[in-house]
A and B are shown apart, each in its own frame.
Chain A
Amino acid sequence: MIALIDYGMGNLGSVDKALQRVGCQVRITNDAEVIQQADGVVLPGVGAFDDCMEHLQSCALVAPIKDAIEQGKPFLGICLGLQVLFESSEEGSKLPGLGVLKGRVVRFRHNLKIPQIGWNQISIQRHAPHLGGIADGSWVYFVHSYYVEPEDEGIIATTTEYGCQFVSSVWRDNLFACQFHPEKSQDVGIKILENFGKLSGEL
């Protein structure tokens, strides 16, 4: 069973539908026990950094999420679910992030339109198992104004060009997190979710 974390923000429907499409059993949950029992954990997210952290705290989800990652459970972060893994964000003035990964989240500094909305290409830096069967230069769907700057460049899985080269996904052991939305990235995204399902022993 995959625990799809519901912290009262954003729209889980499309992630849920896409995971079910590849054959995963999904539980939408904010229950620490369900997360503990899950074979894999997905942290989705849209909205603002501080709001997300506030909701994670008020739902008492900070510890369960960190535990799941430390225990080596397959973990997938999507969009804001990638950003909150880091220590801080320029968007969030009050609250620190989960700090699972070292580094911060910064805003695009260029004259291109912000948010970046639409399809862009990933340049694969490290062949994470989540990217199995996915060609370098594949197109995925983005909606964001901020991106992550990991301290350890060794965790970078893919980069993408939008006025600058930014980190579009990271991979460390059991943890994979992407700035783009696999649930909206047609066949490429479905493949990533399928790979995640396999790594979780679901498929």
Chain B
Amino acid sequence: MLAKRIIPCLDVKDGRVVKGIQYRNFKDAGDPVEQAAEYDRQGADELVFLDITASLDNRDTMLDVVNRTAEQVFIPLTVGGGIRTIDDIRNTLKAGADKISIMTSGILTPDLINEGAERFGSQCIVVAVDAMRVPRPERDDSNLGLAPDEEIEWRVWTHGGTRETEVDALQWAIEAQQRGAGELLVTSMNADGTKAGYDIELLRRISESVGVPVIASGGAGTIGHMYEALADGKCDAVLAASIFHFKETTVGQVKQELAVRGITVRR
């Protein structure tokens, strides 16, 4: 049976791992290659590097990190952040990434998803959806017996969570799959960095609407939160950063507890 995946995420800025709260207030969290190797030893199923370096000049620093990691870690490696063109995708794959995560560019130039999937295969195109929960605008039918969860919706944000768009996250997830995304990485911006739990409603709605795997992101504070994302959010994988970086728990401990609760994990 296919195992649910546990994926540590490393936000990398100028070649160093950092961790911020709701995309701000970054703290240094170590060397990416060392950390990748440590997570591999702990039994991580995959790794994600998100390059949050602001300037384009430092792209090569990131490619070097990817290259050195891929030489010693033999699990799938996803790299995202600042991927704008087919050449960016090609260079990142060449450096040793297995998958590319596309976020802002997916919204600005959605054809990049189609073209990337055609050239390199859907299996290496992950579309990241950064979603912000908003109250649904007042409408005439708002009191006509809608379930409480239908009174909210989610908007896509871009540029590392700094710019709001009018795009509906659920619609965008479906479109991204149609365009060729092989997986969706869904981050709740409200929850990210809070350690208060994933946005289960967001995850469940997206997971039930698409036929490709969904990776839950944003808000993991406990192993129980991960369980909820997999069991109730119907996700295929969970991604977490701070819970692992600051050594509150290990991947091994997460897997052990999830297994006790009946989730299939690789051990």
Residues of A within 8 A of B (CB): 10-11, 13-14, 17-18, 21, 46-48, 112-121, 139, 141-144, 161-162, 183-186, 189-190
Contacts and interface: CB of A to CB of B under 8 A. Distances in A.
Interface stretch (B28-36, B92-100, B147-155, B241-249): B92-100
B74 A185 contact: yes
A8 B74 CA distance: 23
A115 B211 CA distance: 9
B54 interface: no
Given A113-B213, A118-B237, A186-B75, A11 B98 contact: yes
Nearest to A13: B96
9 contacts: A13-B94, A46-B124, A113-B213, A115-B182, A118-B213, A121-B1, A139-B3, A141-B75, A184-B74
A114 to B, nearest CB: 6
B166 interface: no
B98 A14 contact: yes
Interface stretch (B15-23, B115-123, B157-165): B115-123
Given A46-B124, A113-B212, A184 B98 contact: yes
Interface of B is mostly: loop
Contacts, number: 89
Contacts of B121: 10, 46-48
Contacts of A117: 123, 182-183, 212-213, 236
Band of interface residues on B: 20 to 34
Interface of B: 1-5, 40, 45, 70-72, 74-76, 93-96, 98, 120-124, 182-183, 211-213, 236-237, 266
A185 B73 CA distance: 10
Nearest to B5: A118
A10 B2 contact: no
Interface of A is mostly: mixed
Given A118-B45, A121-B1, A186-B40, A17 B96 contact: yes
Contacts of B236: 113, 117-118
A17 B120 CA distance: 19
A18 B70 CA distance: 9
Nearest to B212: A113
A10 B97 CA distance: 12
Ranked nearest first, the 3 interchain pairs of A and B with the lowest CB-CB distance are A139-B266, A119-B266, A143-B123
Contacts of A47: 120-121
Given A116-B2, A118-B3, A119-B266, 11 more contacts: A13-B93, A14-B74, A17-B74, A17-B96, A47-B121, A48-B121, A113-B211, A117-B183, A117-B213, A118-B213, A119-B5
